[in-house]
Structure 1
Amino acid sequence: MSDNVAAARATPQSPKAGTGWSAELRATFALAWPLVIAQVAQNALQATDVLMMGWLGPEALAAGTLASSFLMPLFLFGVGAVGAVAPLTAQARGRRDIKAIRRVVRQGFWAAIALALLLTPILLQIRTVYGWLGQDPVLAARAEEYIQIAVLMLVPAMGVIVLRSFLSTFDSTRIILVITLGGVIVNAITNYLLMFGNFGLPRLELRGAAIATVLTNLFMLGAMLTYVLRHRRFKRFNILIRFWKPDWPRFREIFRIGTPIGLTVLAEVGLFAAAAILMGRLGTDELAAHAVALQCASLAFMVPLGLGIAATVRVGVACGRKDQEGIRKAGWTSFMLGTGFMAVSALAFILFGPVIVSLFLDPSLPQNQNALMFAATYLAIAGLFQIVDGAQVVAAHALRGLSDTKVPMVMAIFGYWLVGLPVAWLLGYVLDMRGVGIWLGLAAGLAFVAVLLVGRFALRERLGLLRNIDA
């Protein structure tokens, strides 16, 4: 069987040129909703770890937080980098090029291994770095215990992203949701067994949490890989055939597109980390309120994030088949859905902020009153930037579908660090608006980036982003 014939049979649901707006809406929604819930479930993995670390006591929770604060930015950089598999496989699907799909996925695994080899030595310096930063040496030592094991999750976790990108390209997002929910269950059970020494197992505490994280990611990678290798729709791709054969052009292409994505993610994560540091200098109540409001905003953010991933796929497929109208409809459909949802969540945050924050902090306790007041105020401001936050993430992902990542990276770094953070500091400290000023600074940075990214997608033809299509 030729590769082209196999590709045709393996992609029975390949979108057709000329799809109407209503059909695009249905296709985007069907692709995105499992991804949205899967993103929420992914957050639940981290929430489970935090919850059970808290059961171990304040010291374990503090040490685990230090470990996570050091691990997550670097890990998310890696996730962004291997995320280049999504637009590359989507474009190849649009061209009906099975060889390219197989090679991109294979080199995606290579990229995951290379990134793990790069990041592991950095992560293992956690104790030294926190020593330089003046952290409690006891907490730093316990955080190191966690990291020494947790680094083993890098390859399987990034491998999951590679396979998730491949499956999303072919609209198979429900299996991603099922496996992610299974990962939440596996993580909770292994945490319970290993952290606390239940059912006769040794009590490993933070080491147990790290082992659980590794096992959970191995489970999800194994489940996805088994599905891809055995399902009749995907096994024809033979994604592991000649796995050890290098394909340097595609390996470099993944890093060319993926490195700016990783740096963009790192810039945004860094902005919110810096905002937390600024809030911490204001006092405990302000920092606690910030954490509550940010958790609510992060949960709402999962919807446009899932729609953004769908936009990368839909735009990428249309790009691969040289369908300018398909690109337009795919990008703007995801944009309208994302901003529409965020408009609803903004209204909810503004109207019901005090009720929402009371779910996190007991309003019957007098010591919580200041934090509740701050949290409701911050949540109302979060409502104001919900729309621009949704706009920027969907626009960024739509541009990724066109393999346009370098200029959006520059826009994001400039907007977050040279607009958002300075405005937060100016309003919060110089003009003494405190926490309100810091949150307005975050809104300013997100709005600035949103305008640039949405404008870039709108002007994609004039800016030459479709030159490969016109050729």
Structure 2
Amino acid sequence: MLIINVVMIGHLGAKELASGTLAMAMLNPILLCTGGILTAVAPLTAQAIGAGDKSGGRAFFQQGMWLSVILSCLAVPLLYNTGTALEFLGQSPELSRQAGEFAKALCFMLPPYMVMLVARNFLAAHGQTVVTLAILVAGAALNFAICYLIVENVWGLGQYGLFGIGLSTALANLAIAVALLFYISSNPHTNVVAPYRGLHRMDLLSLKAVSIVGTPIGAATLLEVAFFSASSLLMGYQGDAVLAAYALSGQLNGLAFAMPTGIGVAAMVRVGWAYGARSWIAMQRACFAAIGLGVGTGLCVGLMYAMFPSLFISIFIDVTVAENDAVVRIATLFLYIVATLQLVDAVQAIVSNVLRGMSDTFVPCFWS
């Protein structure tokens, strides 16, 4: 969904795009680290299902919800002080101020985002992904619609600028979280395990299990994204054009990475089912099938980025405007680099998730 923000912020101007990039450089480590921790709900639930647990991993879902509350309380203060942190790191005062306003709006996104992650992982472990995808697409459409009204200054909403775009993202995440929780309660595959029964009680053993499996995932994800966030901060010293170009290429890289990540999550769930059932043949099949799909998608995306860089850059900014020439030129170079990384990124993402399906999260963290 954040890619929609970048697209819409790009239409506000290069300076706004640079500010938004700095804010997201602070936001992304928080989202991905906490999201990585909460990912543990999926393999643990899948293993419980594979082992024939009649509760369907209910305890892991519920403690994931508790953990999302705890993580939100820790993350919101960090994000709220983004502007101060950026200025302390030597970024432009004006960019830091704008980034800080954007980040303050995004603080409202964190709690529903984390609840949404827990619900999505629980549904994925139960193999309920089609309606989940539809809900996510609807939420993204809602975010786009509100952002469009702000960018086009419909009904005077343009005055809210970056702050308004941040609030629209929070609203969309809230809508997605509510819809997913309702779907869990109404879906026969998940409702049968009484997912909300006893939700008010904290189960320390299950909470510990989620934390033990999830913390290395969060740490590995944090290490991966730290490089890109640090790069964004360094690009900020090179000027608005370089920072904006890096933002575009980074979002395109993230968009491409979503495909092997999705394949990896599917592999993680299927490996989790097989691991719970102690079916080693099924684990091997899931692993090799996922790697094959990942290699194919990585090659296809890499070739498209290398062959048509201007086409993809034009999603974010108008490549025909002379004042954007510098951004387009630099973004094209960055995109060539992104294209070369797709195959390796795809295999790494899938293999890591296969290991996570067996609750082996320390090895991927170590190699990160």
TM-score (norm 1): 0.70
Q: What root-mean-square deviation, in Å, do the aligned CA atoms of Structure 1 and Structure 2 show?
A: 3.0
The Cα shift of 1:151 comes to: 1.5
Q: 1:80 to 1:189 in 2, by over 3 A?
A: same
Correspondence for 1:389: 345
Correspondence for 1:263 among 213, 219, 244: 219
| Native 8 Å contact 1:312 1:399 kept in 2 | yes
With 336-345 and 286-295 compared, the bigger mean Cα shift is at 286-295
With 356-365 and 177-186 compared, the bigger mean Cα shift is at 356-365
Partner SS state of residue 99, structure 1: coil
Aligned positions, number: 367
Aligned residue identity for 2:187: H
Correspondence for 2:269: 313
The Cα shift of 1:404 comes to: 0.7
1:148 equivalent in alignment to 2:104: yes
Greater Rg by CA: 1
1:335 equivalent in alignment to 2:297: no
Alignment of 1:242-281 (within 5 A): 242-276=198-232
Aligned residue identity for 1:184: A
Correspondence for 2:30: 74
> What is the distance in 2 between the residues matched to 1:190 and 1:288?
23
Correspondence for 1:219: 175
Q: 1:56 to 1:272 in 2, by over 3 A?
A: closer
Correspondence for 1:325: 281
The Cα shift of 1:122 comes to: 1.9
> What is the distance in 2 between the residues matched to 1:148 and 1:371?
27
1:346 equivalent in alignment to 2:302: yes
| Native 8 Å contact 1:116 1:154 kept in 2 | yes
Partner SS state of residue 173, structure 2: helix
The Cα shift of 1:326 comes to: 1.1
Correspondence for 1:115: 71
Structure 2, unaligned stretches of length 5 or more? Answer: none
| Native 8 Å contact 2:298 2:342 kept in 1 | yes
| Native 8 Å contact 1:319 1:327 kept in 2 | yes
> What is the distance in 1 between the residues matched to 2:252 and 2:263?
18
Comparing both chains, which one has the higher relative contact order based on Cα–Cα distances under 8 Å and sequence gaps of 6 or more?
A: 2
| TM-superposition CA deviations, 1:232-269 (whole Å, max 9, x none) | 23211221112111110110111111111111111111
Correspondence for 1:85 among 41, 52, 57: 41
Partner SS state of residue 233, structure 1: helix
1:104 equivalent in alignment to 2:104: no
Correspondence for 1:18: none
| TM-superposition CA deviations, 1:73-117 (whole Å, max 9, x none) | 112111111111010111011012132611110001001000001
> What is the distance in 2 between the residues matched to 1:364 and 1:66?
25
The Cα shift of 1:204 comes to: 2.9
With 314-323 and 151-160 compared, the bigger mean Cα shift is at 151-160
Q: 1:52 to 1:262 in 2, by over 3 A?
A: same
Correspondence for 2:195: 239
> What is the distance in 2 between the residues matched to 1:189 and 1:378?
29
| TM-superposition CA deviations, 1:339-384 (whole Å, max 9, x none) | 122133334445x256656746877778877876665555444444
The Cα shift of 1:300 comes to: 2.6
Q: Percent identity?
A: 34
Partner SS state of residue 176, structure 2: helix
Aligned residue identity for 2:19: A
Correspondence for 2:50: 94
With 62-71 and 392-401 compared, the bigger mean Cα shift is at 62-71
The Cα shift of 1:226 comes to: 1.1
> What is the distance in 1 between the residues matched to 2:182 and 2:106?
24
| Native 8 Å contact 2:267 2:286 kept in 1 | yes
Aligned residue identity for 2:223: A
Correspondence for 2:115: 159
Structure 1, unaligned stretches of length 5 or more? Answer: 1-44, 413-471
Alignment of 1:432-447 (within 5 A): none
Correspondence for 2:83: 127
Correspondence for 2:135 among 170, 179, 201: 179
Aligned residue identity for 2:37: A
| Native 8 Å contact 1:347 1:383 kept in 2 | yes
Correspondence for 1:188 among 117, 121, 144: 144
1:402 equivalent in alignment to 2:321: no
